[in-house]
């Protein structure tokens, strides 16, 4: 039986209040006031920014508008870490366990994380970084521990029996349901295209960039762009195509199979065809892409010599690559649209034996690094970052 796609309904202003009435609040009043009890927000663990974390005394302070916020989650051998920034303050939350996280901003404007372990998946959410709600997931979910991607908080994309499937957010049940058959695509990212109210999924078929577009009533067949993608360097895997959407444009960033490291940006038409292809030579293996606060794009690039970033505009192409953090190992970063006056935020781990989960604030090519959490031994993995703008 097909469920009505309630996730496509517009969220009204009163919906934010539902989060305080649904689910189970997993911190008490003492924790909300700044205590460090298990499961709650720990104000005492909020980050500092100094020379050890790459503090930049000349970097402009953040200036947040009401509603601006961020959430980052990551996994380490010490357990899962979630941290939230509401206005200028970061709060650290350690929910316990070793669940694989995926953070996003849901349709109600809450800072949310899916946490998956052997026992199942739980959806946690908070609006203010203090009170967290928890919703066990019983609908469709990707295979445990498989790669998964969130598109605008509306759709969850992942593997199901070797195929790619899209699950849509059910706003009444705080759960996910499917409306389309699974399809053959080695998916690597997804975005929400608000102009068409659709989800676009990017990936590869036979190492060619392909996309799928889906909305409430239709799943458009695979669109082949004719653009080759490099997925392996010897025995080392490279990031698949990374989508970002801004100003009505969707751009796919990926490595081209060349004699040297070549990062490509392909702007896609509404139908998924390649409109333009621009390239830049960079050293790197792992990518993450996002829109910037000014409506352009940024790509974070993890390499053997540290973490770098490069700006991109559909009008002027790539800028110059710049260093974000030389201490970052070859672990996938996560980048998100900037808040509080920043162009972008990048979340990433430093290396063992004393790993740190860090956030880099980006303004132009200026960088301010902040340590959010310390890891016990191994570097943080499955780093996932999302930001909420002032519209919420």
Nearest C-alpha neighbor of 26 from the set 16, 15, 18, 37:
37
pLDDT exceeds 90 at position 150: yes
Question: Per residue in 25-65, pLDDT tens?
Answer: 222 222 333 333 334 445 433 333 433 455 677 889 999 99
Determine the average pLDDT of the residues in 18-24.
32
DSSP string, 88-127: TEEEEE---S-PEEEEEE-TTS-EEEEEEETTEEEEEEES
Lowest mean pLDDT among 135-149, 283-297, 351-365: 135-149
Nearest C-alpha neighbor of 295 from the set 261, 237, 344:
344
Nearest C-alpha neighbor of 295 from the set 256, 251, 355, 260:
251
Is the separation of the CB atoms in 362 and 343 below 8 Å? yes
**How many Å apart are CA 392 and CA 110, to the nearest integer?**
9
Question: Per residue in 228-238, pLDDT tens?
Answer: 999 999 899 99
93 vs 63, more confident: 63
Expressed in percent and rounded to 5, the helix, strand and coil fractions of the chain are 5, 50, 45
**How many Å apart are CA 180 and CA 182, to the nearest integer?**
7
> What is this structure's pTM?
0.88
Confidence of residue 17 (pLDDT cuts 50, 70, 90): very low
Question: Per residue in 114-142, pLDDT tens?
Answer: 998 888 899 999 999 999 999 999 999 88
Hey, what domains does the chain have and what are their CATH numbers? 6-388 (2.130.10.10)
């Amino acid at each position: 039986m097909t469920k009505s796609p309630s996730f496509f309904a517009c969220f009204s202003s009163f919906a934010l209040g539902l989060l305080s009435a649904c689910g189970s609040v997993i911190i008490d009043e003492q924790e909300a006031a700044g205590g460090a009890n298990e499961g709650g927000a720990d104000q005492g663990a909020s980050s500092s920014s100094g020379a050890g974390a790459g503090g930049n005394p000349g970097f402009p302070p953040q200036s947040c508008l009401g509603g601006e916020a961020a959430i980052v989650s990551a996994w380490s051998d010490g357990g899962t870490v979630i941290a939230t920034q509401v206005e200028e303050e970061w709060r650290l939350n350690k929910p316990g366990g070793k669940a694989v996280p995926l953070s996003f901003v849901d349709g109600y404007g809450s800072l949310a994380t899916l946490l998956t372990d052997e026992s199942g998946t739980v959806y946690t959410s908070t609006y203010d970084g203090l009170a967290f709600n928890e919703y066990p997931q019983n609908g469709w979910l990707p295979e445990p521990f498989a790669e998964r991607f969130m598109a605008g908080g509306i759709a969850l994309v992942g593997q199901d029996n070797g195929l790619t499937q899209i699950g849509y957010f059910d706003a009444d049940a705080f759960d996910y349901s499917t409306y389309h058959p699974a399809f053959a695509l080695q998916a690597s990212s997804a975005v929400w295209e608000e102009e068409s109210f659709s989800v676009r999924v990017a990936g590869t078929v036979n190492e060619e960039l392909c996309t799928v577009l889906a909305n409430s009533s239709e799943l458009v067949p695979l669109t082949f762009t004719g653009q080759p993608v490099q997925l392996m360097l010897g025995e080392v895997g490279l990031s698949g195509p990374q989508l970002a959407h801004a100003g009505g444009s969707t751009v796919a960033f990926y490595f081209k199979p060349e004699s040297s490291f070549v990062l490509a940006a392909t702007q896609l038409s509404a139908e998924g065809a390649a409109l333009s292809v621009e390239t830049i030579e960079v050293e790197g293996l792992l990518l993450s892409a996002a829109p910037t606060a000014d409506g352009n794009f940024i790509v974070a690039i993890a390499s053997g010599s540290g973490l770098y970033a490069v700006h991109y505009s559909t009008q002027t192409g790539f800028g110059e690559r710049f260093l974000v953090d030389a201490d970052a190992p070859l672990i996938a970063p996560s980048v998100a649209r900037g808040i509080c006056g920043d162009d972008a935020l990048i979340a990433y781990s430093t290396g063992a034996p004393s790993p740190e989960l860090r956030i880099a604030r980006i303004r132009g090519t200026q960088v301010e690094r902040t340590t959010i959490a310390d890891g016990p031994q191994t570097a943080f993995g499955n780093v996932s970052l999302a930001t909420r703008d002032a519209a919420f």
